[in-house]
Structure 1
Amino acid sequence: MAKQKAVAVIFGNWDESYNELPRWVLGVQLTMPGTVAVLRTCPVRVGAQHDESQAFRHCKPLVSIDGTHLYGKYGGTLLVAIAQDGNSNILPVAFALVEGENAESWSFFLSHLREHVTPQPGLLVISDRHNGIKAALEAPDGGWLPSAAYRGFCIRHVAANFTLTFKGKDARRLLVNAAYAKTEVEFDYWFDILRSENPYCDEGRRFGHMTTNISECVNSILKGVRNLLVCSLVKATYGRLAELFVRKGREAEAQMGTGQQFSQYLVKCIEANLKTARCFTVTVYDRDNSEYTVAETTPTGSFSLGTYRVSLGSQTCDCGYFQALHFPCPRALACCAYSRLTWQPYVHQVYRLSSVFGVYQMGFTPPIPEGFWPPYAGPTVIPDPNMRRAKEGRPRSTRIRTNMDDADPNRPKRCGLCRQPGHTRRSCPQAGRPTGTAGN
Structure 2
Amino acid sequence: MTAKMPRSRVQIKTLPVYCESEEVQGVRVLHRIFWSFYPCIVAFRHYKPLVQVDDTYLYGKYKGALLVAVAQDGNQNIVPIAFAIVEGETADAWEFFLSNLRRYVVTIDGVGIISDRHNSIDAAIARSNRYSRTEQEYNKNYQRLRERGEAYTQWCDEISIQRWVLAFDGGHRWGHMTTNLKSAEAHERVRNGFTYSEFATKRVEESFRHAGNIVVNRFDRRNEMFEVREMQDGSIHTVNLAQRHCDCGHFQVERLPCRHVLACCANQRLDWQIYVHDVYKMSEICKVYRGEFVLMGDPSTWAPYEGAKVIANWTLRRATKGRPKSTRYLNEMDSRDMRRPRRCTICGREGHSQSRCPQRAGPSSAGDQS
**TM-score normalised over the length of structure 1:** 0.61
Using the alignment, how far apart are the partners of 2:310 and 2:78 within structure 1? Answer: 32
| Aligned Cα root-mean-square deviation (Å) | 2.8
Q: Given residue 34 of structure 1, which amino acid in structure 2 is its aligned partner? A: R
- 1:331 is aligned to 2:260: yes
CA pair 377-66 structure 1, distance change in 2 beyond 3 A: same
Deviation per CA, 1:367-418: give whole Å up to 9, x if none: 1221111111222121111111122469xxxxxxxxxxxxxxxxxxxxxxxx
CA pair 47-291 structure 1, distance change in 2 beyond 3 A: closer
CA pair 289-56 structure 1, distance change in 2 beyond 3 A: same
Q: List alignment gaps of at least 5 residues for structure 1.
A: 1-27, 138-150, 156-175, 219-247, 299-303, 395-440
Q: Greater CA deviation, 283-292 or 339-348? A: 283-292
Deviation per CA, 1:112-146: give whole Å up to 9, x if none: 10011001101111011212112xx5xxxxxxxxx
Where does residue 204 of structure 1 map in the other structure? 171
Using the alignment, how far apart are the partners of 2:288 and 2:72 within structure 1? Answer: 10
Greater radius of gyration (CA): 2
> How many residue pairs end up in the alignment?
289
Using the alignment, how far apart are the partners of 2:299 and 2:210 within structure 1? Answer: 59
Where does residue 320 of structure 1 map in the other structure? 249
Answer 1 or 2: which has greater helix percent. 1
Highest RCO, 1 vs 2 (Cα 8 Å, sep ≥ 6): 1
Spell out the pairing of 1:10-89 with structure 2 (5 A cutoff). Answer: 28-42=1-15, 54-89=42-77
Where does residue 378 of structure 1 map in the other structure? 307
C-alpha displacement at 1:51, in angstroms?
Answer: 8.7
Where does residue 295 of structure 1 map in the other structure? 229
Using the alignment, how far apart are the partners of 1:113 and 1:188 within structure 2? Answer: 36
Where does residue 273 of structure 1 map in the other structure? 207
> Contact 1:292–1:311 at 8 Å: present in 2 too?
yes
Where does residue 183 of structure 1 map in the other structure? 134
C-alpha displacement at 1:50, in angstroms?
Answer: 8.3
- 1:130 is aligned to 2:118: yes
Q: Given residue 275 of structure 1, which amino acid in structure 2 is its aligned partner? A: R
> Contact 2:55–2:65 at 8 Å: present in 1 too?
yes
Where does residue 288 of structure 2 map in the other structure? 359
Using the alignment, how far apart are the partners of 2:291 and 2:179 within structure 1? Answer: 26
Using the alignment, how far apart are the partners of 2:315 and 2:43 within structure 1? Answer: 37
Using the alignment, how far apart are the partners of 1:46 and 1:358 within structure 2? Answer: 25
Q: Secondary structure at the match of 1:37?
A: strand
Q: List alignment gaps of at least 5 residues for structure 2.
A: 17-31, 144-152, 324-370
> Contact 1:51–1:116 at 8 Å: present in 2 too?
no
Using the alignment, how far apart are the partners of 2:42 and 2:125 within structure 1? Answer: 24
Using the alignment, how far apart are the partners of 1:125 and 1:46 within structure 2? Answer: 18
C-alpha displacement at 1:53, in angstroms?
Answer: 6.5
**TM-score normalised over the length of structure 2:** 0.72
Using the alignment, how far apart are the partners of 1:195 and 1:106 within structure 2? Answer: 25
Using the alignment, how far apart are the partners of 1:74 and 1:322 within structure 2? Answer: 48
CA pair 37-54 structure 1, distance change in 2 beyond 3 A: same
C-alpha displacement at 1:297, in angstroms?
Answer: 1.9
Using the alignment, how far apart are the partners of 1:332 and 1:94 within structure 2? Answer: 37
C-alpha displacement at 1:152, in angstroms?
Answer: 3.8
CA pair 46-63 structure 1, distance change in 2 beyond 3 A: closer
Deviation per CA, 1:161-185: give whole Å up to 9, x if none: xxxxxxxxxxxxxxx22xx010011
Give the fraction of aligned pairs with identical amino acids, expressed as a percent. 41
Using the alignment, how far apart are the partners of 1:123 and 1:48 within structure 2? Answer: 18
Deviation per CA, 1:55-94: give whole Å up to 9, x if none: 1110011100011001111111100001001111001000
Using the alignment, how far apart are the partners of 1:45 and 1:307 within structure 2? Answer: 54
Using the alignment, how far apart are the partners of 1:58 and 1:284 within structure 2? Answer: 37
Q: Secondary structure at the match of 2:10?
A: coil
Using the alignment, how far apart are the partners of 2:303 and 2:10 within structure 1? Answer: 15
Q: Secondary structure at the match of 1:31?
A: coil
Deviation per CA, 1:315-348: give whole Å up to 9, x if none: 1111111111111111111111111011111111
CA pair 393-339 structure 1, distance change in 2 beyond 3 A: farther
Using the alignment, how far apart are the partners of 2:252 and 2:272 within structure 1? Answer: 14
C-alpha displacement at 1:363, in angstroms?
Answer: 1.1
Where does residue 166 of structure 1 map in the other structure? none
> Contact 1:280–1:297 at 8 Å: present in 2 too?
yes
